[in-house]
Structure 1
Amino acid sequence: MRLIQTERLLLRAVRAGDAEALYAIFGDPETNRYNPHGPYPSPEHARMTLAGWTEEWERHGFGRWAVADQEEPNRIIGFGGLNYSDYGGQDRLNLGYRFAPAAWGRGLASEMARQALRCAFYCLAAPAVFAKVRPANLPSIRVLLRQGFSHHGSLRDIPAAPASLVYISRAPAK
């Protein structure tokens, strides 16, 4: 799961050298249009976040990937994958992703999400994967629905902001 090739993408475990790309994507106001927390405030914040993500890989054997187009394998266009996230006091397997605006509208988030679900269900034997999305983030909702997620409820996870929508994808029946 540390290095995966899909039809168009290279997915690899994040590493310390990805901090600049992480800040470029997560620090961009456009990629934070639906994020009440707003863009990352500094490169140092990106480095600290990345340190936590690399520790997740060490602890769990999976985590978020740095995503590159196969045609430009050294240029990161997004980050996404699986992690444990708090859902109202319960840690649940969570799918998350964020791509640079130049990568939007090409189905790349769907391609990455499809691979993450394969890993969750067939490598980790997870019974379900959850995702949180802001109600106005229609592009991300469409990605989740295309991957077979269904609406599961809502979650007040950010004070003074509308509740996040919660989606679930259940493992295929055996």
Structure 2
Amino acid sequence: MLVQTIHGRRAMETKRLYLREMTDADLPALCRILQDKDVMYAYAHAFSDAEAREWLDRQKARYKQYGFGLWAVILKTSGEMIGQCGVTVQDAGGRDALEVGYLFCRDAWGQGFASEAAQSCRDYAFRTLRADEVVSIIRDNNFPSMRVAVRNGMLPRGGFVKQYYGLSMPHIVFSISRSEWEALQKSAK
């Protein structure tokens, strides 16, 4: 993970990706993701234009408040925004936790981009934010996201039910502790 400035914005770089703060110019690409019912199945609905705008505004507010949020994931080879991934403060079943979250357009599925971006965000949370634990909160029917969490060194540690648009949605909390992450870093060398 390399944190640098690209086009005036702080960003991270992985082998194939740039992760940077989203701007208003990213709204069309973000809508392509958030308005695809297949991508958004874990949310039980595709977003409207207003919901997509609110989502982007929420990320921009997080950048100002915390210095982090969900970032645009840009494919190096094309400059295309293929998803979003980052660190946010979330309710993990009654406690605040730093969560690595990710959401990618369908064209990017199955190519390892989510794992690559999520690992970079996990490392950012431990190295830069000095987290003791990092979680990914995943709907119980979202098996591809669970696989990404496991590749990210996380294990299922509990669950809770979120109320969302009048629906009860069971979620599983995957997590990795600082000591587990440190052991993972040592074994990778």
* Equivalent of residue 74 in structure 2, options 49, 68, 79: 68
Counterpart in 2 of 1:169? 176
What is the distance in 1 between the residues matched to 2:31 and 2:55? Answer: 10
Q: Where do 5+ consecutive residues of structure 1 fail to align?
A: none
In structure 2, the residue matched to 1:35 is 43
Deviations 1:90-148 (A, max 9, x none): 22111111000000000000000010011000111100111111112111111100110
The secondary structure found in structure 2 opposite 1:157 is: strand
Shift of 1:162: 3.9
TM-score using structure 2 length: 0.85
The percent identity for this pair of structures is 32
- TM-score, structure 1 length as denominator? 0.92
Match for 2:26: what amino acid?
D
Matches within 5 A, 1:112-131: 112-131=117-136
**Offset at residue 173 of structure 1 (A):** 4.3
Amino acid at match of 2:172: L
Q: How does 1:60-99 map to 2 (within 5 A)?
A: 60-73=66-79, 75-99=80-104
Counterparts of 2:169 and 2:25, CA distance in 1: 35
- The Cα shift of 1:33 comes to 2.1
- Flag the structure with higher strand content: 2
- Which 5+ residue runs of structure 2 have no aligned equivalent? 4-9, 184-189
* Residue identity matched to 1:4: M
Corresponding residue for residue 6 of structure 2: none
What is the root-mean-square deviation in Å for CA atoms of aligned residues? 1.5
- Cα distance in 2 for partners of 1:82, 1:135 equals 20
Structure 1 residue 89 displacement after superposition: 3.4
Q: How many residues align?
A: 171
